[in-house]
Amino acid sequence: MSVAELKERHAAATATVNDLRERLKQKRQLLLDTDVASYALSHGRTPISFSSTDLVCCRTLRGHTGKVYSLDWTPERNRIVSASQDGRLIVWNALTSQKTHAIKLHCAWVMTCAFAPSGQSVACGGLDSACSIFNLNSQVDRDGNIPISRILTGHKGYVSSCQYVPDQETRLITSSGDQTCVLWDITTGQRISVFGGDFPSGHTADVLSLSINSANSNMFVSGSCDATARLWDIRIASRAVRTYHGHEGDVNTVKFFPDGQRFGTGSDDTTCRLFDMRTGHQLQVYSRPHENNDNDVPTVTSIAFSISGRLLFAGYSNGDCYVWDTLVAEVAFNLGTLQNSHEGRISCLGLSSDGSALCTGSWDKNLRIWAFGGHRMVI
């Protein structure tokens, strides 16, 4: 086929894609008869509110000498691993604030880290396009560093996010700037499945985040610079189960709702959204209230649901951390207004496994742990 013919085909295909997208948008719009907040308020649901002393910062974890990019809790709730631009992973005892491990990385440009289900290993990845595994019980080398126990290579772009499959010490999923996600066998270091890439219905731009469904670990959702989130079944790598449209910018973060039937997203378009996994419907948009200076609206960098799902914690690029009431789509509180809040972008956040503590990581080099310190009724 000649170049001229190819150009003609390209133009025709582009027009078809745009036409199909528009038709999809219109069809979804016809089904969008309400949203969660409108429905909840019309059925008498009332917002949750917090006083200024209800949410407190209980710990400040200081030790990184560079921006914090990622964090993860252990399943047994009392340890946190964090990754920083200083080229280190630090494992913290959340109770005492002490550092139990400080792992120097071969590649300082780390973007993500994760704890293994057992809490005995950590994984990290970044601009080296690989995922490195460290066993925390390993003997240190003569420089005092924990050696890499396994390195997972194969991505053709940076590793943006990694997560262990729940309850599986040897399975891990990564997302990458090469537009794919990969399921790995850590024991052999081999790729089990590749999601996207050459296959149809894969992401068409960098994949920035992923979240595995804790209620059904065969399913995970990914968020991408192509402004979509996609649902995958790890048993069927050949195509995405569903694509979720709605965002108007990079989808930086995705997180499953506690019951696994919905998931939340956060984007460069400054909104968080709630999607229904089964139908693909966008259930709610969580937009920041309009501020005076509309030119520089902060983007959403990270999200987490409270254990009931009623609250959505969202970290923003300006250091705000909104606590959204997901039922009525109102901001119940902004941790960024507290005196001891972060002084820079919130890059990551995560909830402990029992839901009692929220940890936030920031470009101000610190991590902070927040908990509810408000009134309880004595009965």
Partner 1 sequence: MAAAEGAVAPPPTAAPPPSPPRPKSPPGYPDLCGRRRLGAAVQVLDREIASLEADLQSLEGLESVSSCCQEYVRVNEFVGTNPDPFIHTTEKQKESHQVGKRFRMCFNFQWICCSNGFPPKAKRPICPLGQLKTLCCRRCHGGCNCCSCCDLSCCRVLCCSRPSCSCPEFSCGCICSCSKFTEKCSRRGCSSTSCISKCLC
# residues near partner 1 by CB under 8 A = 106
Question: Is the CB of 136 or the CB of 351 nearer to partner 1?
Answer: 351
| CA 171 – CA 235 distance, rounded (Å) | 13
Considering only residues 225 to 244 of the shown chain, the ones binding partner 1 according to CB under 8 A are 225, 239-240, 242-243
HSE-up (13 A, CA, CB side) for residue 85: 12
Query: What is the per-residue DSSP string for 109-148?
Result: -EEEEEE-TTSSEEEEEETTSEEEEEETTSPP-TTSPPPE
For the chain, the maximum distance between any two Cα atoms, rounded to a whole number of angstroms, is 81
Closest approach, Cβ 176 to partner 1, in A, equals 10
Q: Which of 63, 101, 58, 107 is nearest to 79 (CA)?
A: 101
Report the candidate in 377, 257, 357 with the shortest Cα–Cα distance to residue 308.
257
Binds partner 1 by CB under 8 A, chosen from 47, 48, 149, 318: 48
Out of 98, 188, 337, 340, the residue judged to bind partner 1 by CB under 8 A: 340
Which residues are CB-contacts of 199 (< 8 A; sequence separation ≥ 6)?
237, 238, 239
Instruction: Indicate if the alpha-carbon torsion angle 26, 30, 32, 33 is positive or negative.
Output: positive
**Which residues inside 277-296 make contact with partner 1, applying CB under 8 A?**
279-283
Considering the complex, state which of residue 58 and residue 148 has its C-beta at the smaller distance from partner 1: 58
Single out the residue of 292, 294, 295, 351 nearest to residue 321, CA to CA.
Answer: 351
Q: Does 6 bind partner 1 (CB under 8 A)?
A: yes
Instruction: Provide the mask over 80-109, with x wherever binding to partner 1 is found by CB under 8 A and - wherever it is not.
Output: -----x--------xx-x-----------x
Q: Return the range that interacts with partner 1 (CB under 8 A); candidates 116-124, 130-138, 166-174, 258-266.
A: 258-266
> Please, which residue, 76 or 147, has the CB nearer to partner 1?
76
Q: Which of residues 194-213 bind partner 1 (CB under 8 A)?
A: 199-202, 204-206, 208
Binding mask 124-163 for partner 1 (x = CB under 8 A): ---x-x--------------------------xxx-----
**Least Å distance between CB 199 and partner 1?**
8
**Nearer Cβ to partner 1, position 177 or 361?**
177
Cβ distance to partner 1 smaller for residue 166 or 258 = 258
Round to whole Å and give the CA distance between 101 and 1. 59
d(CA 321, CA 195): 32
Stretch of 143-151, 165-173, 213-221, 271-279 lying at the interface with partner 1 (CB under 8 A): 271-279
Residues in region 23-42 near partner 1 by CB under 8 A:
23-24, 27-28, 31-36, 38-40
140 vs 215, beta carbon nearer partner 1: 215
Q: How far is the CB of 129 from partner 1 (least distance, A)?
A: 7
The three-state DSSP-derived secondary structure of 255-285 is EECCCCCEEEEEECCCCEEEEECCCCCEEEE
**Residue 297 CB burial class (10 angstroms; 0-12, 13-18, ≥19):** middle
CB of 135 to partner 1, least distance (A): 26
Name residue 166's amino acid: P
- Closer residue to partner 1 (CB): 101 or 239: 239
328 vs 314: CA distance, rounded Å: 16
- Shortest spacing between CB 116 and partner 1, in angstroms: 22
* CB 336 within 8 Å of CB 342: yes
Nearest distance, CB of residue 217 and partner 1, angstroms: 20
